[in-house]
């Protein structure tokens, strides 16, 4: 057995994850061709690389199939109920920053806050006979946030990509999605509600609380912790 480290093998977090480990003297790499999902870890003993997508890493940590994993805090909080019981946040990595926000069309000049959204939602239902639709892939986080805020008269519609386009396509009236530069929101004539920030996310190294550890794994984790200055 060895300590299993899950890192994104594609997508926007991959290159920066490899660079971050390299800055700490640990080389992560693919064993074969670009398409082969097998990897190596050089610079520290007893650690095995597991190549996954950022979106799969929360599940693998929770199942205890990997001991450590790099993914976004948004994905951990969205995909794992009571995430603190399943994983420990070890170190924020300083990249992959993105904000999960609620946004509405610019043209809604009277809607700037969650209270405004709540009022519009009630009026929308009375007028159209169905609830105002919010498109998102972050179902858990959006539901929890809106419950806390006292907004109830809405429905979530699932959108796994191009979420900002749902408004133009008339499949939703509002969205909850990740924004980074803000370009996509601007291009789609959307504005963030003043109190519509749900979560600030960044790439983070997590430890599974569920993965079984042998003596050698504890030793490898200790060595890695020293190298990464985790304490």
Ligand X SMILES: O=P(O)(O)OC[C@H]1O[C@H](OP(=O)(O)OP(=O)(O)O)[C@H](O)[C@@H]1O
Ligand Y SMILES: Nc1ncnc2c1ncn2[C@@H]1O[C@H](COP(=O)(O)OP(=O)(O)OP(=O)(O)O)[C@@H](O)[C@H]1O
Nearer to ligand Y, 16 or 131 (CB): 16
Nearer to ligand Y, 63 or 123 (CB): 63
Report how many residues bind ligand Y under the rule CB under 6 A. 14
106 to 165, contacts with ligand Y by CB under 6 A? none
Residue number with the smallest Cβ distance to ligand X: 161
The CA-based diameter of the chain, rounded to the nearest angstrom, is: 65
Q: Which of 2, 16, 46, 53 binds ligand Y (CB under 6 A)?
A: 53
User: Using the rule CB under 6 A, is 11 a contact of ligand Y?
Assistant: yes
Residues 210 and 64 sit within 8 Å (Cβ to Cβ): yes
User: Using the rule CB under 6 A, is 178 a contact of ligand X?
Assistant: yes
158 burial level (CB within 10 Å; 0-12, 13-18, 19+): exposed
User: Using the rule CB under 6 A, is 201 a contact of ligand Y?
Assistant: yes
The number of angstroms, rounded, from the C-alpha of 105 to the middle of its chain's C-alpha atoms is: 24
Q: 112 contacts which partner out of ligand Y, ligand X, none, CB within 5 to 8 A by kind?
A: none
The two structure tokens encoding residue 78 = 């969205």
User: In this chain, which stretch among 49-57, 59-67, 182-190, 199-207 interacts with ligand X, using CB under 6 A?
Assistant: 182-190
User: In this chain, which stretch among 63-71, 146-154, 172-180, 202-210 interacts with ligand X, using CB under 6 A?
Assistant: 172-180
End-to-end CA distance of the chain: 25
User: Which residue in this structure is represented by tokens 């640990």?
Assistant: 26
User: Using the rule CB under 6 A, is 12 a contact of ligand Y?
Assistant: yes
158 to 187, contacts with ligand Y by CB under 6 A? 178, 180
Residue 27: CB atoms within 10 A of its CB come to 12
User: In this chain, which stretch among 20-28, 49-57, 168-176, 219-227 interacts with ligand Y, using CB under 6 A?
Assistant: 49-57
- Smallest distance, ligand Y to C-beta of residue 138, A: 10
User: In this chain, which stretch among 69-77, 117-125, 179-187, 215-223 interacts with ligand X, using CB under 6 A?
Assistant: 179-187
Interacting residues of 175 by C-beta distance below 8 A, sequence separation 6+: 102, 103, 134, 135, 136, 159, 163, 164, 166, 167, 190
User: Using the rule CB under 6 A, is 96 a contact of ligand Y?
Assistant: yes
Rounded CA gap, 123 and 120, in Å? 5
H/E stretch holding 157: strand 154-158
Interacting residues of 48 by C-beta distance below 8 A, sequence separation 6+: 2, 3, 4, 5, 41
Nearer to ligand X, 180 or 226 (CB): 180
139 to 168, contacts with ligand X by CB under 6 A? 161-164
Strand partners, 224: none
User: Using the rule CB under 6 A, is 180 a contact of ligand X?
Assistant: yes
């Amino acid at each position: 057995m060895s300590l299993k480290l899950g890192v994104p093998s594609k997508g926007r977090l991959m290159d920066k994850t490899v660079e971050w480990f390299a800055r700490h003297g640990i080389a992560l790499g693919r064993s074969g061709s670009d398409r082969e999902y097998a990897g190596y870890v050089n610079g520290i003993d007893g650690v095995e690389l597991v190549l996954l997508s950022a979106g799969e890493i929360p599940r693998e940590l929770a199942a205890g199939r990997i001991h450590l994993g790099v993914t976004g805090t948004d994905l951990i909080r969205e995909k794992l109920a009571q995430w603190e019981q399943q994983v420990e946040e070890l170190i924020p990595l300083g990249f992959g920053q993105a904000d999960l926000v609620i946004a509405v069309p610019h043209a809604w000049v009277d809607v700037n806050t969650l209270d405004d959204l709540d009022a519009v939602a009630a009026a929308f239902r009375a007028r159209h006979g169905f609830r105002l639709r919010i498109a998102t892939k972050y179902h858990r986080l959006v539901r929890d946030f809106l419950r806390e805020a006292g907004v109830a008269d809405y429905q979530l519609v699932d959108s796994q990509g191009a979420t900002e386009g749902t408004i133009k396509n008339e499949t939703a009236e509002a969205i909850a999605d990740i924004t980074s530069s803000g370009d996509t929101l601007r291009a789609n004539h959307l504005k963030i509600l003043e109190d519509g920030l749900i979560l600030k996310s960044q790439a983070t190294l997590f430890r599974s609380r569920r993965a079984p550890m042998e003596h050698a794994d504890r030793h490898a984790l200790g060595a890695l912790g020293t190298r990464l200055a985790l304490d």
